[in-house]
Chain A
Amino acid sequence: MASPKRKVAVAPQTRIDRVVSPSGIEAWLVEDYTVPLISMDFAFVGGGALDPAPLAGLSHLMAGLLDEGAGPYRGQDYQERLEDKAIEISFSSNRDRIEGSLRTLDRHGEAAFDMLALAVNQPRFDQDAIDRVKAQVMASLKREETDPDALAWKAFRARAFGDHPYGRGDKGTPASLSTITRADLVTAHGRRLARDRLKIAVVGAIDAETLGRALDRIFGGLPASMPADIVADIVPAGLGSVVVSPLAVPQSTLALGRPGLHRLDPDFMAAYVVNHILGGGSFTSRLWTEVRERRGLAYSVWSQLSTSRHSAMLLAGTATSNERVAESLAIIRAEFARMAEKGPSGRELDRALQYLIGSYALRFDTSRKIAGHLVEIQVEDLGIDYIAMRNSRMAAVTLADTRRVAARLIGDGGLLVAVAGQPEGIADT
């Protein structure tokens, strides 16, 4: 195949309006009436990392309880009222955020906004609902105790971040969950959900004026601000070490990583391209080719840049038969080293840019994808012109950039390696 010519693809043509409600709450809106639906995504910046250590999992539990009863409706009544109109409301949380999402048929928009307003402002935190959701979280923690993927990443987090809040899981522990009281949940609700931490995106069959009124109804009653974020920035530790979590399974799961680049780092775009070539692009990356295609060592092998609010990492993962772990690991290490040393080839760069630029439009073909992406852009503070600029910024990445940034990103290639399984010839270091 001839070397493809680099194309500065047109930016996606999605029109985004900045809507500001009468009381000053901002949302980004993509107005589109093709399908009779409204999708809203929002995020409050600040999540589980803010939980006091003995109450680990508090934010996760609180978010999980917001739709388990609110205002006059107990848990089941609330859920039934949603189901009567097929309104979907859900909340989740991670170390950095509390997130929410609403999806409704446009004809039920007003009812949906009312129900969401109740969940956001007046969650009941009934004791029976607390007990129920705690039991569900406990059950999922139990399953994770023998899940190879969960075990490997748990050990990875603990070694990389130690006592920092990023060292623990979002769901907490059986001990911390049993400590959390209703009063803790009420306090967490009051502190985490504040207007100055809120980012909102809406896509679908709604106009700016209607949305403005809805925003006030849903979010206008929340506190204007919350205390400053007190989580420290941290660089993952443990490079060069190996942690094995023994588990009686024929295949080992590997979790690997080292420090990465923050989202606002001027080299981030080049690092993104480097990662795509290393292990980000499925079916075409170096890791895919060497580990899966050439040797059949694994079904899945990948790498990605992971940007949390207080840390940045380059992560990788795979799962391979116990007797082939050493070989797989050696190949992955060699690929990291090769990338650090020489960077990509000109042809690899051209092809990566072709893909990354051309495929950006695929993030804009459903309301949910668009809403999710718009919240992401706001949380990361990339600016409302990001979508229009993103492809030309990507196209400006040069071979020299990628070679310099590959060396910066991968450095000496040192990796923290966590393995769950019975890997042959691999021991803790």
Chain B
Amino acid sequence: MSHDHAPELSHFQLPNGLDVVVIPDRRAPVVTHMVYYRNGAADDPHGKSGIAHFLEHLMFKGTEKHPDGAFSDLVSDLGGQENAFTGHDYTAYYQRVAREHLQKMMELEADRMTGLVLAEDQVLSERDVILEERKMHVDADPASQLYESLQATLFTHHPYGTPIIGWQHEIEQLTREDALAYYRRFYTPENAILIVAGDVTEERVRALAEKTYGRIARRNEAPRRQRPQEPPPAAERLVTLTDAKVEQPAVYRMYLAPSHGTAKGNDAHALEVLCQVLAGSSASLMYRDLVVERSLAVNVSSWYRNDALDQGYFGLYAVPRDGVGLDDLDREIDAILAQVMANGFSEAVLARGKTRLIADLVYAQDSQAHLARIYGGTLATGGSIADVRDWSDRIDQVTLDDIRRVAAACLNRARVVRGHLRKAA
């Protein structure tokens, strides 16, 4: 299996510690400019959940040099698009603009790495916005509430169990001082990764980065991320949410599993293949068995959170057909997993899963923004450029023995939190 035209990417570091990645894509005269900070919701101080995400919103308010949303105004005037997102392990900001405006973006993003200014009234109205965001995404949707509860149950000790947006009662208490303290701690050149993808060269990015980000003084060493680690789980757990608004019941499962950050050998790669083969598409094992052949489920899916600094998890989801109980569906899923652990599956099935995964990385090359996110997410969770480069080969090397090994180690009852979404009678 070949890499199929991996981009000619470069990676270097400025003297102040800022990591820089350049991903050329000359098909259109545009660039994607991103800055990742190596801190996210899992670094929120205890009792201040949601502060990383709150600060992400507040970063659009302005700086001493560019007050009152001037950055967003400028992006818009230049015909650019922008946004930001917060994960458990990173916070990222990006703009997409015509290539001639790259320098301006770098000037303003560098400025807001140290120059943020917050007015009390702005902070308070933005906190209301976030409470509305939480209501929209969580409180109105029983499935989202259950999912939040599943994560909190799976991670009993590690902050991955706390929602990125934060718990409502803690969001309500967040202050301007909380945001600024968090900002001063994490927003430093040593803690940041600059990704520029698009119609650029390494030389141009290097020159512009030195003129902009390069002028920010090194703080000292990069902030350390020290999170309490999850103890080995011992007990199977079941979380049930029953609500009158549930018209369509469903079962969920989450298993504590290693991530690329914590896995030994090729365990994470094997889990990726397993995830694809189990329920990753409508050609998958669970889909064939439960949806097509036995009509017990309407739909199934699987996901694997592998891009994490600390432990990840492996998820399964199934929607029963009318008349099929959630406990029955759980038993069927157990039977399929037992079968995979005992006998694996055919080489043809294995090859199909790998082909799909490897092609996805080739498809990703169609989008500079997507590529930028792949590299940004990898570097921000402790990975390297080489990890992305070698990824296809390592997926290709996964064997059936590897799959059986990781299935037995991860998808066992001690590690599972099951979720039932039920309609109130």
Q: Are A247 and B125 within 8 A (Cβ)?
A: no
Q: Does B311 contact A (CB under 8 A)?
A: no
How many angstroms from the CA of A298 to the CA of B133 in the assembled complex? 7
Q: Does A251 contact B (CB under 8 A)?
A: yes
Q: Are B78 and A358 within 8 A (Cβ)?
A: yes
Return chain B residues, CB-CB under 8 Å to A148: 140
Interface 1/0s, chain A 346-365, versus B by CB < 8 A? Answer: 00000100111111111011
Q: Given A1-B74, A86-B356, A247-B245, A296 and B283 touching (CB < 8 A)?
A: no
How many angstroms from the CA of A147 to the CA of B295 in the assembled complex? 26
Q: Are A83 and B362 within 8 A (Cβ)?
A: no
Return chain A residues, CB-CB under 8 Å to B291: 132
Q: Are A281 and B76 within 8 A (Cβ)?
A: yes
Q: Does B281 contact A (CB under 8 A)?
A: yes
Q: Are B363 and A319 within 8 A (Cβ)?
A: no
Name A's interface SS.
Answer: mixed
Q: Given A105-B359, A131-B295, A358 and B80 touching (CB < 8 A)?
A: yes
Return chain B residues, CB-CB under 8 Å to A86: 355-356, 358-360
Return chain B residues, CB-CB under 8 Å to A356: 79
User: How many contacts A-B (CB < 8 Å)?
Assistant: 191
Q: Which partner residue on chain A sits nearest B82 by CB separation? A: A283
Q: Are B140 and A105 within 8 A (Cβ)?
A: no
Q: Given A36-B4, A366-B367, A83 and B77 touching (CB < 8 A)?
A: no
Q: Are A12 and B28 within 8 A (Cβ)?
A: yes
Q: Which partner residue on chain B sits nearest A284 by CB separation? A: B76
Among residues 19 to 39 in chain A, which have CB atoms less than 8 Å away from a CB atom of chain B?
A: 32, 34-37, 39
Return chain B residues, CB-CB under 8 Å to A34: 25-27
Q: Does B266 contact A (CB under 8 A)?
A: no
Return chain A residues, CB-CB under 8 Å to B75: 283
Return chain A residues, CB-CB under 8 Å to B27: 32, 34-35, 365
Interface 1/0s, chain B 45-77, versus A by CB < 8 A? Answer: 000000000000000100000000110111111
Interface size on A, residues (CB 8 A): 73
Return chain A residues, CB-CB under 8 Å to B368: 365-366
Q: Which partner residue on chain B sits nearest A295 by CB separation? A: B125
Q: Are B29 and A251 within 8 A (Cβ)?
A: no
Q: Are B76 and A354 within 8 A (Cβ)?
A: yes
Q: Does B129 contact A (CB under 8 A)?
A: yes
Q: Does B103 contact A (CB under 8 A)?
A: no
Interface 1/0s, chain B 13-41, versus A by CB < 8 A? Answer: 00000000000011111100000000000
Q: Are A80 and B366 within 8 A (Cβ)?
A: no
Among residues 81 to 101 in chain A, which have CB atoms less than 8 Å away from a CB atom of chain B?
A: 82-86
B299's partner among A139, A146, A354 (CB-CB below 8 A) is A139
Q: Are A251 and B139 within 8 A (Cβ)?
A: yes
Q: Are A354 and B135 within 8 A (Cβ)?
A: no
Q: Does A124 contact B (CB under 8 A)?
A: no
Return chain B residues, CB-CB under 8 Å to A39: 366
Q: Are B298 and A365 within 8 A (Cβ)?
A: no
Distance (whole angstroms) from the CB of B145 to the closest CB of chain A: 11
Q: Are A139 and B298 within 8 A (Cβ)?
A: yes
How many angstroms from the CA of A147 to the CA of B135 in the assembled complex? 13
How many angstroms from the CA of A128 to the CA of B80 in the assembled complex? 48
Q: Are A251 and B247 within 8 A (Cβ)?
A: no
Q: Are B362 and A37 within 8 A (Cβ)?
A: yes
B129's partner among A13, A37, A296, A365 (CB-CB below 8 A) is A296
Distance (whole angstroms) from the CB of A393 to the closest CB of chain B: 16
Q: Does B9 contact A (CB under 8 A)?
A: no
Give the interface size bracket for B toward A.
Answer: 35 or more
Q: Are A296 and B292 within 8 A (Cβ)?
A: no
Return chain A residues, CB-CB under 8 Å to B98: 358, 361
Return chain B residues, CB-CB under 8 Å to A71: none
A80's partner among B135, B136, B140, B352 (CB-CB below 8 A) is B352
Among residues 269 to 283 in chain A, which have CB atoms less than 8 Å away from a CB atom of chain B?
A: 281, 283
Return chain A residues, CB-CB under 8 Å to B60: 283
Interface 1/0s, chain A 122-153, versus B by CB < 8 A? Answer: 00000010011001101110110111100000
Q: Are B79 and A300 within 8 A (Cβ)?
A: no
Q: Given A299-B132, A299-B136, A321-B135, A360 and B82 touching (CB < 8 A)?
A: no
Q: Does B288 contact A (CB under 8 A)?
A: yes
Q: Are B139 and A368 within 8 A (Cβ)?
A: no
Q: Are B132 and A351 within 8 A (Cβ)?
A: no
Q: Are B248 and A143 within 8 A (Cβ)?
A: yes
Q: Does A343 contact B (CB under 8 A)?
A: no
Q: Does B253 contact A (CB under 8 A)?
A: no
Interface 1/0s, chain B 126-151, versus A by CB < 8 A? Answer: 11111111011001110000000000
Q: Which partner residue on chain B sits nearest A136 by CB separation? A: B298
Q: Given A35-B5, A296-B129, A361 and B362 touching (CB < 8 A)?
A: no
Return chain A residues, CB-CB under 8 Å to B135: 249-251, 319, 321
Return chain A residues, CB-CB under 8 Å to B127: 296
How many angstroms from the CA of A12 to the CA of B319 in the assembled complex? 45
Q: Which partner residue on chain A sits nearest B26 by CB separation? A: A34
Q: Which partner residue on chain A sits nearest B142 by CB separation? A: A146
Q: Are B129 and A292 within 8 A (Cβ)?
A: yes
Q: Does A320 contact B (CB under 8 A)?
A: yes
Q: Are A354 and B77 within 8 A (Cβ)?
A: yes
Q: Are B4 and A105 within 8 A (Cβ)?
A: yes
Return chain A residues, CB-CB under 8 Å to B288: 76
Among residues 357 to 392 in chain A, which have CB atoms less than 8 Å away from a CB atom of chain B?
A: 357-362, 364-368
Q: Does B124 contact A (CB under 8 A)?
A: yes
Q: Does A424 contact B (CB under 8 A)?
A: no
Q: Does B405 contact A (CB under 8 A)?
A: no
Q: Which partner residue on chain A sits nearest B136 by CB separation? A: A319
How many angstroms from the CA of A138 to the CA of B362 in the assembled complex? 35
Return chain B residues, CB-CB under 8 Å to A236: none
How many angstroms from the CA of A126 to the CA of B329 in the assembled complex? 25
Q: Does A227 contact B (CB under 8 A)?
A: no
Among residues 209 to 263 in chain B, which have CB atoms less than 8 Å away from a CB atom of chain A?
A: 244-248
Q: Which 8 A-B pairs have the closest CB atoms?
A: A358-B79, A296-B128, A86-B359, A296-B125, A299-B133, A251-B135, A146-B245, A142-B247
Q: Interface of B with A (CB < 8 Å)?
A: 4-5, 25-30, 60, 69-70, 72-82, 96-98, 124-133, 135-136, 139-141, 198, 244-248, 281-283, 288, 291-292, 295, 298-299, 319, 321-322, 351-352, 355-356, 358-360, 362-363, 365-369
Extra A-B contacts (14), CB below 8 Å, given A1-B70, A248-B244, A362-B79: A4-B77, A34-B27, A37-B362, A85-B355, A132-B291, A132-B298, A139-B319, A142-B248, A145-B247, A249-B135, A283-B76, A296-B128, A365-B96, A365-B198
